[in-house]
């Protein structure tokens, strides 16, 4: 019988208990990322994120956490992590992506909010928080969320929740907010002064 180390080296190797350790490690890594929140309303979807700059030399505008990609394509890519290619030869990738995504959009059914994870699973949500403050954020959101929220109410809930879970004091420099409106389906990033006006009203 092999040790755990034997099973956690292969990206497509199941342990005797039916586990793939590499996927479990990737899912655990998500908890160290910055907090991101999505809330769906009838008017559209609000996305908010805490911006963490790992270095003072990093350009703030390059720290982008808001996503516009197609959920299924991203999930397919994640689940096929062991099917990489190098030139004409098939070469499995070393590790699955340690990334979860919140994906917002509008289709014929209206506003949509999805979350993907490293296993290739994607789920639809009314409201979802991921990252280092995700669990605490979800507790707050469950207490405040209702299905008839306006976009403005959802934006305030996103920022209030980020304020509650962030280690640093919330400001318009360390958070970003964007909305995808039902009527246009386009992503609109909120300007700093707009965000600051909401922050000023938070408890």
Q: Residue 176 belongs to what H/E stretch?
A: strand 175-181
d(CA 77, CA 120): 7
Whole-number Cα distances in Å, 75 to 79, 117, 155, 161, 195: 6, 7, 27, 27, 31
Q: In what order do the strands lie in the sheet with 110-116?
A: 101-107, 110-116, 122-124
The conformation of residue 122, written as its DSSP 8-state character, comes to E
Q: How would residue 140 be classed by pLDDT, with cut points 50, 70 and 90?
A: very high
Identify the DSSP state of 8: T
* pLDDT tens column, 178-189: 999 999 999 899
Look over the chain and give the mean of its residue pLDDT values, rounded to a whole number: 79
How far is the C-alpha of 165 from the C-alpha of 159, rounded, in Å?
10
Query: Residue 51 phi/psi, 5° resolution?
Result: -95, 120
Q: pLDDT-derived band of residue 118, with 50, 70 and 90 as boundaries? A: confident
Question: Which segment of 43-57, 60-74, 92-106, 183-197 scores lowest on mean pLDDT?
Answer: 60-74
Helix (H, G, I), strand (E, B) or coil at 26: helix
Write out pLDDT tens, residues 5-25: 555 555 566 666 666 666 666
Map out the domains of the chain as residue ranges: 32-70+97-199
Task: Report domain 32-70+97-199's class.
Answer: alpha beta
Residue 174 has pLDDT above 90, yes or no: yes
Contact 132, 100 (CB under 8 A): no
Are the C-beta atoms of 141 and 39 separated by less than 8 Å? yes
- The whole-number average pLDDT for the span 48-73 is 60
Strands 110-116 and 101-107 turn out to be: antiparallel
- Quote the CA–CA distance of 37 and 39 in Å, as a whole number: 7
């Amino acid at each position: 019988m092999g040790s755990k180390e034997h099973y956690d080296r292969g990206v497509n190797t199941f342990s005797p208990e039916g586990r793939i350790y590499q996927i479990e490690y990737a899912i655990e890594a998500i908890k160290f990322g910055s907090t991101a929140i999505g809330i769906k309303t009838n008017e559209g979807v609000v996305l908010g994120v805490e911006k963490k700059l790992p270095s003072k030399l990093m350009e703030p505008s390059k720290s982008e956490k808001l996503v516009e990609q197609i959920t299924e394509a991203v999930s397919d890519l994640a689940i096929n992590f062991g099917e990489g290619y190098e030139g004409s030869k098939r070469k499995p990738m070393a590790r699955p992506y340690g990334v979860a995504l919140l994906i917002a959009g509008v289709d014929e059914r209206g506003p949509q909010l999805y979350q993907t994870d490293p296993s290739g699973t994607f789920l639809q949500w009314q409201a979802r928080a991921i990252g280092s403050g995700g669990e605490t954020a979800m507790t707050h959101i469950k207490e405040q969320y209702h299905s008839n929220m306006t976009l403005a109410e959802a934006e305030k809930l996103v920022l209030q929740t980020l304020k509650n879970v962030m280690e640093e004091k919330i400001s318009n420099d360390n958070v970003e907010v964007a909305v995808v409106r039902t009527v246009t389906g386009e992503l609109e990033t909120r300007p700093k002064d707009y965000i600051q006006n909401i922050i000023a009203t938070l408890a």
